[in-house]
Amino acid sequence: MTPDEATNQVIDALERLKIPYMLVGSFSTMIYGLSRSTKDADIVLQLEGMSIRKITAELPSEFVLDPQIKFESATGTTRYVVEVPSIPFTIEFFRLSADPHDNERFRRRSAVSSEQLGRTVVVPTLEDVVLTKLRWSVATERPKDVEDITNVIAVQGDDAFDWDYIHHWCAQHGTRERLDEIRASIPPIDD
């Protein structure tokens, strides 16, 4: 099994169970930016009373749920980790939180075609991918988040974005300075 196949099996299970979801993290970044390797798939779920065990019961036995629930500090939600030791690869399920931006990006999510996965998947909008990566880049100082933001903006082009929407949430999260630094670092593309 490959990481892409594992991710597709999880999406199939979510769709069978009719669980609203959104593929985030590296996979959503790659849809809008450049392809890169990843060790996990991050998925936001709207569980509404459903147990995470119901989802894992739909997966092959090689998918192993870590019994320890984790806490994700940026949005204040819980995170469930499912390991696929044979690859090695991890699926991380994030419960949709009460965070205003987390809810807004989930409301705005859309179905798009993923070349990598060979299917249509539900992901955040272009703007919400950048906003979430910005938030994480400030919270964790991970260089990969800044690189992802840079690649998404460079690949999509400045005109593809609703900058008013992005600036609104940057003001809420205190990430405007980081955004401006990243945008200034992207060289113009000559036509």
Taking alpha carbons only, the member of 89, 104, 73, 77 closest to residue 9 is 89
Amino acid present at 39? K
pLDDT in tens, the chain (191 residues): 999 999 999 999 999 999 999 999 999 999 999 888 889 999 999 998 888 999 999 999 999 999 999 988 767 789 999 999 999 899 999 999 999 999 999 999 999 999 999 999 999 999 999 999 999 888 888 889 999 999 999 999 999 999 999 999 999 999 999 999 999 999 876 65
- Give the span between the Cα atoms of 81 and 175, in whole angstroms: 28
CB 106 within 8 Å of CB 19: no
**What's the angle, vertex CA 127, arms to CA 121 and CA 132, rounded to 5?**
85
pTM of the model: 0.92
Run of H or E residues at 3: helix 3-16
Rounded to 5, what percent of the chain is helix, strand, coil?
Answer: 45, 20, 30
The CA–CA distances, whole Å, from 34 to 10, 77, 117 equal 23, 28, 14
Q: Domain limits of the chain?
A: 1-124, 125-191
Task: Confirm or reject CATH 3.90.226.10 for domain 1-124, answering yes or no.
Answer: no
Residue 129 Ramachandran class (φ > 0 left, ψ -120 to 50 alpha, else beta): alpha
> Which residue carries 């670092």 as its tokens?
185
End-to-end CA distance of the chain: 42
Q: How far is CA 138 from CA 173, 176, 178, in A?
A: 9, 10, 8
β-partners of residue 24 are 42
